[in-house]
Amino acid sequence: MSLIGAPVDRVDGRLKVTGTAPYSGDVDLPRMAHAVLVLSTVANGRITTMETTDAARMPGVLAVMTHLNAWKLPQGGRAGVNPPAGRVLTLLQDDVVHFNRQPIAVVVAETLDQAEAAAREVKVGYAAEPAILKFAEAKPNAHAPEKANQEPTDSERGHISEDAFAKIEAVYTTPMEHHNPMEPHATVAHWQGEKLTLYDATQYISGCQTTIAKTLGIPKDDVRVVCPYVGGGFGCKGSTWAHVPLAAMAARQVARPVKLVLERPQMFGPVGGRPRTEQHLMLAADPSHRFTGTRHDVFSHTSMIEDFTEPSALQTRMQYDCANVQTSHRLVRLSVGTPTFQRAPGEATGTFALESAIDELAYRLKIDPLELRRRNEPPIDQDKQLPWSSRKVLECYEQGAKAFEWSARNPAPRSMTAGRMQVGLGMASATYPANRSAAAASARLTTDGILVVRSGTQELGTGMYTIMTQLAAQTMGFPLDRVRFELGDSLFPQAPVSGGSQSTASVAPAVQSAVAELRRKLVTLAVGDQASPAFGAPEDQVVIEDGAIGRRGEQRREPAVATLARTGNQSVEAEGAAKPGDEKKQYSMHSFGAVFAEVQVDPELGIIRVPRVVARYDVGRLLNAKTGRSQLLGGIVMGIGMALMEESVLDERYGRIVNANLAEYHVPTNADVGMIDVGVVDDADPYIDALGARGIGEIGITGVAAAIANAVYHATGVRVRDLPITLDKLLV
């Protein structure tokens, strides 16, 4: 039986459920000190006084690092800037404050309690200046970014006529959000002479290595980054934020290892979040219900020190058949921390607007919303004028609608009930680009018969350990328990960021290449070994099954490692690499899906429940049915939070997020999640890579907020265009 696609249990599952998986914050080194950030309390201005004397005298305090005594970095610490992942960081190089909760000091002490107590005693004086915190007031000064996720900022094809048989024009908004993974950001910095080791909670170990080296002005080879496990990231750990170099600077100053773990409120401000968007959307159709014009103009906020673009209009350029399409992206500068990638950046927010508008147009046309989408299925990517590498949207519609029993839906709003509850059924399409980057891997067969495979990728809880173990075992012909996959160390062969849903599509071909080369070397040894069952056989007639080697068609086999014992008892090693070619110049590559949601709304209280979600996805070849399903489930749950709960509330007087804790920043819990039925159209993408597998980390959230919003309208007759959909927006 092929291991590829099988629902293999997580190989790291026991470590996780027993609490023994080593996360960055768990690292404990001899003589390790603890650091705590001091954050600004104004949104714009300068530091006039920094009184640290009392804090420095407190028990256990080793240092209070401020702009007055911090390591002066080359180029003010900006050498590591390499957008979109390399950030403009505030590293105690001057007295300027750009946003509330900006790091302005670091207190280092023997214990965490001592560091926290001393941090509270640091007294800061400011010369505050007016801050720009109101989106509406700043919007007239919006500017165009250079790019929108490496794509042109604006696009236009055809000509949009103002006359249309039917047209929807509406504004949709999404709020600031913050990621809030279970594991907050954490870094342990340890200098050994000129060599720096960072145990960092990161989605990009090699990116962190490069950024830190450039920022501190030291050779890249002098920086090692280690991260065997990440306790969730969702994008916030894809960049290197200020706390990482600050931990390294503090460790150098006190000449001891230093651990710096962000407190939960510190996750709101200095480490990014999803930006607020305001999306103006026009959608027109003719009497045959074909789209004749689409305009999607996006405004999103960024910081005063750096541009970050939420590319919410990208899917509008390609998702449906329409000859006349215009899109634009503009940035609104606010006195806040720089926003960043958050699960499906652009598509999560953009599909809410686009798919809500399609639902509104369907009601205007008096046509089934699913049928309207079917009629506007594009034969090619009209934006890039390329054929699809694979597109199974119609199959997703058909399978999802059947499982959801969409045909039983009464199309009239407020027409369906369950007892006293109003019932609504809504749907939306999902999409996310298929990405891939260069990656490398190594493979080694040890003398005790263990296949060790390494790649400098990351494990975010998505199953990378497991699927790469499966792939290596399948390629080599070894049982799973004789394979060990290792990751999370910048000493290993380089792999890309675990973001953009690209890790599987990037790392899997490299692992396959390395293991295939190792197998070839082992077969060559066996063919030349007179005592081997494979001696003298043509190499294509040598088989390795369940760790045993022999000739095809013959029963005599022996453990593959026996060949090593007779040929010098040395391990065999190989390396492999893979990178994308010109396929994206020849094909448009995306994953797709269809999301169907049922809501029940209390007509008196406005409380919304989501008892049922059905979703079907076209994601290429699924490498593990169990971990793949878990990723899609997680995306849908996060989509429920986006639709109904998540919002970072900005105090427009002071620039601080007022609900910066998990008591008031609401995310779905078990009681909020009903039945979720997830399935895939398991069909390999013939062009993405040799395995036909696309990444699935992000598509699961796309379309969910729109499906729920559309269901809420069907249940109540109230169209909510501003997320999250809270009960006050229904009590009108």
Distance CA 595, CA 7 (A): 23
Please say whether the beta carbons of 198 and 188 come within 8 A.
Answer: yes
Tokens standing for residue 223: 């920086």
Instruction: For the sheet with 558-559, list strands across it.
Output: 542-545, 548-551, 558-559
Amino acid in position 318: M
Phi and psi at residue 77, in whole multiples of 5°? Answer: 85, 5
> Cα 554 to chain center, whole Å?
48
**Residue 717 DSSP SS3:** coil
Tokens standing for residue 633: 């489930």
**Residue 465 DSSP SS3:** helix
Beta strand pairing call for 325-333 and 291-302: parallel
Phi and psi at residue 666, in whole multiples of 5°? Answer: -85, 135
Distance CA 19, CA 6 (A): 26
Nearest to 92 by CA among 131, 35, 54, 130: 35
Tokens standing for residue 322: 């329409």
Phi-psi region for residue 518, left (φ > 0), alpha (ψ -120 to 50) or beta? alpha
DSSP state, 220? G
In sequence order, what DSSP letters do the residues of 324-380 get, joined into one string? -EEEEEEEEE-SSPPP---SSTTHHHHHHHHHHHHHHHHHHHT--HHHHHHHT--SS
Please say whether the beta carbons of 83 and 146 come within 8 A.
Answer: no
Distance CA 363, CA 353 (A): 16
Distance CA 716, CA 700 (A): 26
Q: Give catalytic status of residue 698 as yes or no.
A: yes
Write the secondary structure of 117-183 as one string of H (helix), E (strand) and C (coil).
Answer: HHHCCCEEEEEECCCCCCHHHHHHHCECCCCECCECCCEEECCCCCCCCEEEEEEEEECCECCCCCC
Amino acid in position 572: V
Amino acid in position 166: A
Please say whether the beta carbons of 224 and 490 come within 8 A.
Answer: yes
Nearest to 100 by CA among 50, 41, 49, 46: 41
Report CA-CA distances (Å) from 547 to 77, 559, 607, 636: 51, 6, 57, 39
Helix axis angle, 625-644 relative to 704-716, nearest 10°?
Answer: 50
Distance CA 212, CA 68 (A): 21
Q: Which of 360, 459, 517, 698 is catalytic?
A: 698
Rg (CA), the chain: 27
Q: Which residues contact 508 (CB under 8 A, 6 or more apart)?
A: 467, 468, 471, 623, 689, 691, 693
Catalytic residues: 698
